[in-house]
Amino acid sequence: MTSSFRINNYDDYRKAWQKSVADPEGFWESVADTFTWRKKWDKVLEWDFRKPDVKWFINGKLNITENCLDRHLSANGDTTAIIWESNDPAEPSQHISYALLHQQVCCFAQALRGMGVKKGDRVCIYMGMIPQLPVALLACARIGAIHSVIFGGFSARSIADRVQDAQAGYVITCDGAFRGAKDIALKSLVDEALVTCPSVKKVIVCKRTHTPVSMIGGRDVWWDDLLSEINKDEAVKVPAEEMDAEDPLFILYTSGSTGKPKGVVHTCGGYMVYTTYSFVNVFQYNPGDIFFCTADIGWITGHTYIVYGTLCAGASVLMFEGIPTWPDAGRMWDIVDKHKVNVLYTAPTAIRSLMAYGTAPLQGKDLSSLKVLGTVGEPINEEAWHWYDEHIGMGRCPITDTWWQTETGGIMIANIAGITPSQPGYATLPLPGVQPVIVDEKGTVQEGNEVSGNLCIRFPWPSIIRTTYGDHERCRSAYFAAYDNMYFTGDGCYRDEKGFYRITGRVDDVLNVSGHRIGTAEVENAINSHTGVLESAVVGYPHDIKGQGIYAYVIVDAHTDTSDENCKNINATVAGIIGPIARPDVIQFVKGLPKTRSGKIMRRILRKIAEGETKNLGDTTTLLDPLVVDDIISGRQLP
């Protein structure tokens, strides 16, 4: 089924990329033809980046879950779809076949229907990494409801913001979630959030931690009680909802440089085609391989390469409830050994945190099943790349460095494992269908090699963001307004002498902390809401494990103390408003911030000071008060 678009050698790659540029419609039509459609499209593509308006597979009808599940049943119903590994190594793992997953999804879809959930309704999902989580996503997709997964590390306030923005009628959650030594009381956070969310009619609660919860009569129902009413044999016969290729599949909120997180919208047809295509090719997945993606389903990586792209390809995917360092730093290697994992896809931050424990946790672990390694989420430093290569891949596994974003839906620039060359620190070459361009500040395209600038994409690919939920203008201004007729990624980039791309990090005010995307404006707003805080400025600085750490410069009023105790309190405020992932690593109390005469904070200077640079701060003559800089330098806090 997927063999017709598989890239098997460098020549295949070259030809596929060339065809995808010369004849994008023909190229993607032949990939789309390999999927199950209720009705094929009338036209492959219509687009106008200036609006933006992008439509793929126009008037095509499908249900993505028939591609993830039903179409595998006759030949591969017994194949394992999902292997689940608990947070607790002593708890047995689960193997869920395609046939069983299909049945579970059909039953839960019926339960949702019975509750009144209809096509187009928004359902927020706030759960831990248990098998019911992919079931919940797929059941929504089965009935055409739009899911919005909220990462389990977000606070009650963040849940409320997302529920309100999507005007969700339903929430699916758990009593709690296990995460290393902790258990997080998810349901009580949902209760707190929903006080300000009148749109929510029903809350479904799945039992995991047995943490006591309060169930609100008429609103809250237990997952198991709902399912006990469903007849399995009947449920599997109910047809999936017919969706248009351009109907929304899901919303996923992500941080930008300004304001509240944006609800990135992906649609059914294009997302399905691109995610499956990229999965099979980048990882060179072969039937029977065990693919272990360590991401959380709360992020785009989990949506695309645990749930949709992976299952559409009929793969066996391993999902893990815990964290790499608990109960000890050998946990991931134990899992690879136990399940004979063939492809491991993880983040540079995880590699760096495990590297710090040395090779002792690897002793006695058989990693010989590994064939391909992948990284995602941030630039990988050479030291981590080599450690991954030598100690995990034993020098015999290609490493694919995959650059992409929530907005791109799937991997955009990456070496194809073992087929196109790799180079530490480089995502290397674009996938077929992807036309990267490097532009300077003014929007002039930088032709040729050995150039750097801002990374844009000049032609639509099938899983490109369609809109930001409820605010199309925000989508336009954030991604399509900076440069005419191009999608702007927000990343800086260098193209070397061979034409390989190296992503150098964000050029906007977005931080990447342990692979989590955090807007500096969001953190500043949270800090500013703390009693006694007058103003703040947040920047990133290089952090050995997290990639970037969060450095906050804070001005308080005369009645507020600048003690360590108050730093902790500010941290707690940020954790309460956004979530623990956004807590500053360093807080420095300052008397003033470096501002231009027009009142703009000069973050460049603050970034340099946070990095430890005190001399070459560049031009400070345009500052309203250059003396504040000396004051900030003398009070610099060591991370």
| Residue nearer to ligand WT7 on the CB measure, 331 or 506 | 506
The correct pick among 157, 187, 371, 517 for binding ligand WT7 (CB under 6 A) is: 517
The correct pick among 107, 172, 300, 538 for binding ligand WT7 (CB under 6 A) is: 300
503 lies in the binding site for ligand WT7 (CB under 6 A)? yes
H/E element, 608:
helix 603-611
- The residues in 301-320 that bind ligand WT7, with binding defined as CB under 6 A, are 301
- The residues in 424-463 that bind ligand WT7, with binding defined as CB under 6 A, are 427
509 lies in the binding site for ligand WT7 (CB under 6 A)? no
Tell me the residue number closest to ligand WT7, measured at CB. Answer: 406
Sheet holding 262-267, edge to edge: 220-222, 202-206, 170-174, 122-126, 146-149, 248-254, 262-267, 467-468
The correct pick among 244, 401, 509, 524 for binding ligand WT7 (CB under 6 A) is: 401
The correct pick among 161, 296, 491, 585 for binding ligand WT7 (CB under 6 A) is: 491
| Residue nearer to ligand WT7 on the CB measure, 247 or 491 | 491
| Residue nearer to ligand WT7 on the CB measure, 136 or 411 | 411
Distance between CA atoms of residues 493 and 514, nearest Å: 20
Binding residues with ligand WT7: total (CB under 6 A): 23
Question: Helix (H, G, I), strand (E, B), or coil: what is residue 140?
Answer: helix
Region from 105-113, 217-225, 308-316, 396-404 binding ligand WT7, contact rule CB under 6 A: 396-404
The correct pick among 254, 267, 276, 281 for binding ligand WT7 (CB under 6 A) is: 254
- Only one residue has tokens 């020098």, namely 395
Is the link from the previous residue into 52 a cis peptide, with omega within 30 of 0? yes
CB of 210 to ligand WT7, least distance (A): 32
CB of 508 to ligand WT7, least distance (A): 9
495 lies in the binding site for ligand WT7 (CB under 6 A)? no
What angle (nearest 5°) sits at the alpha carbon of residue 215, between those of residues 214 and 217? 135
Region from 100-108, 398-406, 479-487, 572-580 binding ligand WT7, contact rule CB under 6 A: 398-406
366: nearest Cα among 338, 345, 386, 389? 338
Residues counted in the chain: 639
Q: What are the residue ranges of helices labelled H in 340-406?
A: 348-355, 382-387
Tell me the pairing of strands 516-519 and 487-495: unpaired
Distance between CA atoms of residues 345 and 374, nearest Å: 4
Distance between CA atoms of residues 106 and 91, nearest Å: 27
346 lies in the binding site for ligand WT7 (CB under 6 A)? no
Q: Return the C-alpha torsion angle 363, 94, 298, 294, nearest 10.
A: 20
**Cα 139 off chain centre by:** 20
490 lies in the binding site for ligand WT7 (CB under 6 A)? yes
| Residue nearer to ligand WT7 on the CB measure, 154 or 403 | 403
The correct pick among 148, 294, 428, 512 for binding ligand WT7 (CB under 6 A) is: 512
Write the single-letter amino acid at 498.
K
Distance between CA atoms of residues 523 and 582, nearest Å: 7
Collect all residues with Cβ–Cβ distance below 8 Å to 132 and sequence separation of at least 6.
174, 206, 223
CB of 378 to ligand WT7, least distance (A): 5
CB of 423 to ligand WT7, least distance (A): 12
161 lies in the binding site for ligand WT7 (CB under 6 A)? no
Region from 61-69, 87-95, 110-118, 500-508 binding ligand WT7, contact rule CB under 6 A: 500-508
483 lies in the binding site for ligand WT7 (CB under 6 A)? no
379 lies in the binding site for ligand WT7 (CB under 6 A)? yes
- For residues 53 and 47, the answer to whether their CB atoms sit within 8 Å is yes
Residue 285: HSE in the Cβ half-sphere, 13 Å Cα cutoff:
32
506 lies in the binding site for ligand WT7 (CB under 6 A)? yes
CB of 108 to ligand WT7, least distance (A): 27
271 lies in the binding site for ligand WT7 (CB under 6 A)? no
Q: What are the residue ranges of helices labelled H in 360-417?
A: 382-387
Q: List contacts with ligand WT7 (CB under 6 A).
A: 254, 299-301, 376-379, 401-406, 427, 489-491, 503, 505-506, 512, 517
